[in-house]
A and B are shown apart, each in its own frame.
Chain A
Amino acid sequence: MDIALSHVSKRYLHKVVLENPSVAFKGGMIHALLGENGAGKSTTAAILSGALQYDKGSILIDGNAVHFETPRDAVRTGIVCVKQRPLLAASISVMENILLGSEYSLAGKKLKRREIIQEAQKYRQKWAPQLDFHTRAARIGGDERFYTSLIAALVCKPSVLILDEPSALLDWEQRRALYANIRELACNGMNIIVITHIMQEAELYTDTITVLRKGKAAEQYEHSSTFTTAELSPPKKASMDKTAVKDGCNKIYCGQCVRKCAVSFSGITIRPKKRPALYDVSFTAECGIITLVKGLQESGLGTLEDVVTGMENTRTEGTLTIETPTEHLERNLKLKKLTPYFLRYTTGMHTAIIPSDRTFRASHPDLSIGQFLCAMHNGMVNKNYSDSLIQKAGVTIQNEEKASALSGGMLQRLILVRELDTDPQYIIACEPLQGLDAQSSDRTVKLLASFAAKGCIVLVLSSSDFPDELCGSVYKLTGGTITGGRK
């Protein structure tokens, strides 16, 4: 099935997201839709999948104009979208989530419950064998949320499958497997549109590339190989003084003492029921350098994130030691739970926490921008304060709008600005480059490095992307245990 958007426009109260672009996607191929944060990629996906109404223009399927009132209309036509931030019902199981809304397949033919379950089992075996269908959705990680949403989409047997930032929640191995599988679907005639920021991924795995620029114009490359990364606002290489970051603490917080500020986790052991365990994990994040913990979700990176950010509810063994020029704090995690409250307020370090789950942990779609930005600010929601943060982040949004109005990249930028505005001495950044375009990624890396250079403790947890060469300490998390240390 061929699908196209013809001169489509979409305007919100305070901004124009799409201004007249025309794009076409042929069946039996994998198409990449590229663009910077806020270019209108997710809006395009939402329009194609019936989740959003456009103001002008038309959607063409095999040359015929169609109109979708709801996503259900699109599903009946054979178009399904797997969103960047899949919204699942938290209190029901993965399987029940798949069953929700899967009753319609291509051309509106109703699927029976048994058929859906059989299909889902089949896809799970191939795409995500680790996914437990009986687990409650509230207990699953980001990658599992993606696979749940993907399987729910696949059981509808779509002709057009739209994947909005599929790599954002997956590690390299998972990405390779994903693209191998979607290639197979494309060979069987499915039209697959992948929205991504990762240009290498687009070049490697897709057939055509479409670039959106600020929603105004679209360029299409019939062969991905003809597209070079330089075409899309070239990323500047990190230009900060690497040696300064790697070796030097500029002693803003350390006074005269070299490396006196440090956060150490020692002997962290935790065995959550449904998530990977950690065994005797110990590492130290020192001031003046970026400490990177690399690993995969299945190696326990998600569990470690919950532990270090204070969001873990399972009983944890181990000790947290915080050394500052004025204080020595030691907390036995078995006796007293680590909480974000402790990290942010008790330690006096104004800890900045950037979690990997931007949508439901670092924000919430129902929060107003004012609430979202002023949540940790003293006093009431302050328009001037939130406007200043919006300006710093370079995002076009109004104070009264909802957080759901933000694209993934914009959300990440605002979270970074909000967290780093409190003059933190300790920064925990989990997957900080996730969902960011090349320029924003570069900016974020520089920003974290500059904080490290100022003497902050910067701890980065990342499954991919984060440049090792800028980090003073690199740890590797494998199978729940950690290796590595200061370079």
Chain B
Amino acid sequence: MKQAVRTTGILSVTVGLLFTVLLLAASSGSIAAAKDFLTGSFTSLYYFGAILNTASFFMAAGLGDAILLTTGEFNLGGEGQIYAGGFITAVVLSATTTLPPAVSLICALVAAAAVPACMTLISGLLKQFKNANILLTTFLVSAAVIPFIDSLIAGPFRGPYGNLLATPFIRQSVRFSHILAPSPLSAVALTLPLFCISGGYFIYRTRQGKILQITGISNEFAEYCGYPRTKIMYSTLIAAGILHGLTGFIAVTGTYYTCHSGFYSGLGWDALSCSLIAGSNPVALIPSCLILSCIFTSADRVALNYNSGFDISALIQGVMLFCIAIQYAGGKKNDRHHP
């Protein structure tokens, strides 16, 4: 299975890369775009920082997905959870300007963790009492929350910036500074690999991690072993919600300094892709996030420089998810052992 996961990741990334190069070469009519895609981001400090910054978002959200995936569940509501986390961060930071910055940040962090955790908690309750599929309910809750937040940003929480659909900018004292100017990379982003390593330690080196892995392989066996399945479901769902909320918090306090409408776009799905490519291994999440972030950032750079359209990132994402799905199904099929 580990071999299958490795193959899945490598093949998906390779196909994604090839597809992107071919698409860029075809859409721009020149090889230069494809060449720029492969090397351009590393020649610019801005794009290099952007790669690391985006990778940090993927790592935070991807870690939440990885924990849930380990128990055999899918969280498709990552986008709404990130958006909710970011929005509540911006709102709390705007509302607590009279408090000291550290207190204000702690309040925002707690709120950013709590709101998405409540969203995933709804999925948990629906699963426990109505046997509703977590994959579906996380998606549906997120789908309901996104337009609600959109309307709040467009309405009562909108900042005074003319056409910009965003909350007011957070004050200077609660912003994490950018460390690789002019890139959006913030200092807090560099802590995310540590989260992933801790996550890896938890899953592969602790008894609780073993229980999560076994639950992910077989629910019935887990119940038979006497594992507290309901607790496991709620705790992993809440962890996923918290980590997605943390992504929103980092995005607002470290990158955008406001919550603008739709800042989450693509983040949830990309993080899920990273998690699937990493085979839900938190440590493997670090390279997978870096590679995917590099691909998406470079694709955006080329789209901007060669006028090839920003939809290219969505196309790459689609191709990669497709490869993951095909490989995953194939891996399951080939993962048969002798009787």
Contact = CB atoms under 8 A, between A and B. Distances in A.
Interface of A: 10, 12, 17, 42-43, 45-46, 51-52, 83-85, 164, 309, 311, 339-341, 343-345, 353, 355, 360-367, 371, 374-376, 378-381, 401-402, 404-405, 407
Interchain residue pairs A-B with the least CB separation, the first 6: A364-B218, A404-B337, A341-B226, A344-B226, A340-B226, A42-B339
B46 interface: no
Interface string B209-227: 1100110011011011111
Contacts of B207: 378-380
Nearest to A53: B338
7 contacts: A83-B339, A311-B220, A339-B226, A361-B220, A365-B337, A404-B339, A405-B338
Which residue of B225, B336, B337 has the most chain A CB atoms within 10 A of its CB atom? B337
Interface of B: 1, 205-207, 209-210, 213-214, 217-218, 220-221, 223-228, 335-339
B218 A360 contact: yes
Given A360-B220, A365-B337, A378-B207, 12 more contacts: A42-B339, A83-B339, A311-B220, A340-B225, A344-B225, A355-B224, A360-B218, A360-B221, A361-B220, A361-B221, A380-B206, A404-B339
Nearest to B336: A404
A90 to B, nearest CB: 10
A31 to B, nearest CB: 19
Contact of A367 (B209, B221, B227, B336): B221
B338 A43 contact: yes
A358 B226 CA distance: 16
A376 B226 contact: yes
Which residue of B1, B207, B218 has the most chain A CB atoms within 10 A of its CB atom? B218
B221 A362 contact: yes
A379 B206 CA distance: 7
Which residue of A309, A343, A364 has the most chain B CB atoms within 10 A of its CB atom? A364
A160 to B, nearest CB: 17
Given A84-B339, A404-B337, A404-B339, A361 B217 contact: no
Contacts of A374: 210
B214 A371 contact: yes
Contacts of A340: 223-226
B210 A371 contact: yes
Contact of B338 (A12, A375, A378): A12
Given A43-B338, A380-B207, A371 B224 contact: no
Nearest to B219: A364
A85 B218 CA distance: 16
A39 to B, nearest CB: 13
A404 B220 contact: no
B177 to A, nearest CB: 40
Contacts of A17: 338
Contact of B205 (A311, A371, A380): A380
Contact of B227 (A85, A341, A402): A341
Contact of A375 (B206, B225, B337): B225
Contacts of A364: 217-218, 220-221
A309 B223 CA distance: 11
Contact of B217 (A371, A378, A381, A401): A371
A343 B339 contact: no
Contacts of A404: 336-339
B338 A361 contact: no
A402 B336 CA distance: 10
A402 B226 contact: no
Contacts of A46: 338-339
Contacts of A311: 220, 223-224
B334 to A, nearest CB: 12
Contacts of B210: 371, 374-375, 380-381
Nearest to A340: B226
A387 B218 CA distance: 23
Contacts of B206: 380
A400 B70 CA distance: 18
A376 B225 contact: yes
B225 A367 contact: no
Contacts of B209: 380
Contacts of B339: 42-43, 45-46, 51-52, 83-85, 164, 404, 407
Nearest to A357: B220
Contacts of B224: 309, 311, 340, 353, 355, 361-362
Contacts of A355: 224
Contacts of B336: 404
A52 B335 CA distance: 13
Contacts of B220: 311, 360-361, 364
Contacts of A51: 339
Contacts of B1: 366
B338 A366 contact: no
A17 B217 CA distance: 27
Which residue of B214, B217, B336, B339 has the most chain A CB atoms within 10 A of its CB atom? B339
Contacts of B335: 366
B262 to A, nearest CB: 36
Contacts of B205: 380
